Amino acid sequence: MTKPLAMMKPVPKRAMVLAAGLGVRLRPITADRPKPLVEVGGQSLLDRALDRLAEAGVEHAVVNTHYFAEMVAKHLASRLKPRIHLSPEAKLLETGGGIAHALPLLGRDPFFVVNGDSFWLNGPTDVLKRLANAWDDERMDALLAVYLTPRALGYDGLGDFMVDPLGRLTRRREDEVAPFAYIGLQILHPRLFRAAQDGAFSLNRLYDQADAAGRLWGIVHDGEWFHISTPADLAEAQERLSSRFSYYHRI
């Protein structure tokens, strides 16, 4: 049951937005721009993510950059909410390494991490606020938003996680198909990175660490999630949004 708004827990004030990747599968669209600056419904994926963070109450957002870094910096230069802090990467550090590199900007408290190319629509309650409300500092090092794979537009993978009735996540083994996919939204605690290596590494290593310790948890997103990886995925998402707008405009 969703808690009344007055009982909601505080939302983390800081977030990391991952925007450094090459967007290879979306080429040729990403030949002259980074994937987070690709537009869906007339707005860039990056702006959509930052707007959602600001609406949820996030005050500071750290954005890592590498591919077309100057373009991203120029695009964000005039943004006021949330306040932007850039974390340039001379070499790609991957998801885990990029966050570890930016930790001095993220502070000591749990923080959101949002993929800069994530595109979602909220359900009855803002999914970022749902993550904040579900966070339990005593039990969790990582809390991920996941989605049922058959419902995901554009997704054709094998899934990422199993979810038990309490919300504990278990990683999919190589010989398994999992019913839930990670959608690029999560809360992490800085302590997860205490033993992290320097340089480039994937967050998957830290998920395995949290899983083994029983500290990897999740919530199931109750809105919509669009997996935009290829030009065909982007076209399908555009068409879905256009159809939705036309429907609500008629009524």
CA dihedral 178, 180, 44, 230 (to 10 degrees): 20
**Digits of tens for pLDDT over the chain (251 positions)?**
344 544 678 899 999 999 999 999 999 999 999 999 999 989 999 999 999 999 999 999 999 999 999 999 999 999 999 999 999 999 999 999 999 999 999 999 999 999 999 999 999 999 999 999 999 999 999 999 999 998 888 888 899 999 999 999 998 888 889 999 999 999 999 999 998 888 999 999 999 999 999 999 999 999 999 989 999 999 988 888 877 654 343 43
Q: Phi-psi category of 57—alpha, beta or left, where left has phi over 0 and alpha has psi -120 to 50?
A: left
Give 186's strand partners: 113, 144
Domain, as residue range, for 38: 5-250
Q: How many domains does the chain have?
A: 1
Residue among 37, 182, 184 at smallest CA distance from 119: 184
pTM for the model stands at 0.91
CATH number, domain at 134?
Answer: 3.90.550.10
Collect contacts of 76-82 with beta carbons under 8 A, ≥24 apart: 76/46, 79/50, 81/54, 82/15, 82/50, 82/53, 82/54, 82/58
Task: Look at the alpha carbons of 109, 110, 114, 115 in this order and tell me if their dihedral is positive or negative.
Answer: positive
